[in-house]
Amino acid sequence: MDFTFSEKTRSLAQRLTAFMEAHVYPAEAEYREHVETAENRWTIPPVMERLKGKARSQGLWNLWAPGEYNEHNLSNLEYAPLCEIMGRSLIGAEVFNCSAPDTGNMEVLICYGTEAQKRQWLDPLLRGEIRSAFCMTEPDVASSDATNIQCSIDSDGDDYVINGRKWWASGALDPRCRIFIVMGKTNPQASRHEQQSMVLVPTDTPGVHIVRPMRVYGEDDAPHGHAEILFENVRVPKANMLLGEGRGFEIAQGRLGPGRIHHCMRLIGCAQRALEMTCQRAATRVAFGRTLAEQGAVREDIARSACEIEQARLLTLAAADKMDREGNKAARDMIAMIKIVAPTMAQDVIDRAVQLHGAMGISQDTVLADAWKYARICRLADGPDAVHRVSLGKQLIQRYGNVRQH
């Protein structure tokens, strides 16, 4: 399989790399300092808006989007190495308006939104003026099975009335967040995959109550955060329904495919940066009279990390290529594989980097601790590892289980 990239992709990769080195990496400390020292942690570091302005002025904007919304009109395969570059920094994707959950939510609006919905919500999201959140997961049910969702969306005249509790709505605490996509049940009596619907809920709608920020390993991830939200008799017009009643599961499947692979691309960037940091540390740190690079065990760990990164990278490219050629549904086996492989790979590679950096590796003085946390989160986000393994195993048994071996 040939993954030779076009001149367009190579040029964009060079421009992105130069931008990251000149602007994004140097801004990481300023970004973190603002969050740690600002009177209100839930305010956006000014450096982020400055970076977004520079990226947009250089045409490095909405690179994930289809041609109508992005001058570069990149395929999944063309976007993959660019997403990896952005993923090297935990603030990188937002700089280029390519971060979760906004890209997934914008894809939903592009694919399923009405013209009015696009004008009201998609356009300002594409311009990077507002942000959004996706509200599916619930505390009282196993939300990895979306058919379990209990939040109710009841018809009442020209409106829908929403009642339910959601949590881990990433980005809902961001002060720029203006719109939620909420998944709930419109008809519990329908067939299993036609009970759910998705509806647009502006964040300032009466009855929307932010209960608390969820903490990830003790941190609140300000200023973006992950919220627990109570929807209490929240009333929205029926024009806010996406695609139609009973189509929520269908939308969820369409949304999560590209989102899952984008996370994997970013994780490969995180892991690659961790490997490079490991090599730099090994070459310069002296212990017991010689550099760490002279230790055989250190060399073995570095080699293992490089192999694992390249394996995940190639699998991601293969998944992206299949999505481009055959569509997201046909590529679901490859998407499941990379979702299983990439987060664990990144977690392991970053953990080795942490170990080699010693106490510094778990401190705020490198990106490693936060990068490890991101990789660990992604083993749950967009579906836990175990669910993807079960689903993939089922697909493979269906494909090969009745094939006679020769």
pLDDT digits (tens, 9 = 90+) for 144-157: 888 899 999 999 99
Distance CA(308)–CA(211), nearest Å, equals: 40
Question: Tell me, what's the pLDDT at 233?
Answer: 98
Question: Tell me, what's the pLDDT at 66?
Answer: 86
Quick one: average pLDDT of 108-123?
Answer: 97
Phi, psi of 170 (to 5 degrees): -65, 135
- pLDDT band at residue 406 using 50, 70 and 90 as cut-offs: low
- pLDDT band at residue 141 using 50, 70 and 90 as cut-offs: very high
Just give the CATH number of 131-242: 2.40.110.10
Phi, psi of 196 (to 5 degrees): -95, 150
| Average of per-residue pLDDT values in the chain | 95
Quick one: average pLDDT of 328-352?
Answer: 95
pLDDT (tens digit per residue) in 254-307: 776 667 789 999 999 999 999 999 999 999 999 999 999 999 999 999 999 999
List the beta bridge partners of residue 155. Answer: 160
pLDDT (tens digit per residue) in 341-355: 999 999 999 999 999
Q: What does each C-alpha distance from 272 to 127, 307, 318 come to in angstroms?
A: 30, 11, 18
Provide, rounded to the nearest whole percent, the portion of the chain with pLDDT above 90: 89
Question: Tell me, what's the pLDDT at 206?
Answer: 98
* CA atoms within a 13 Å half-sphere pointing along the CA-CB vector of 385: 13
- What top-level class would CATH report for the domain 7-113? mainly alpha
Q: For the chain, which residues make up each domain, given as ranges?
A: 7-113, 131-242, 249-400
More confident residue, 254 or 16: 16
Identical fold, 131-242 and 249-400: no
Quick one: average pLDDT of 82-106?
Answer: 97
Question: Tell me, what's the pLDDT at 402?
Answer: 79
Distance CA(397)–CA(378), nearest Å, equals: 26
- What top-level class would CATH report for the domain 249-400? mainly alpha
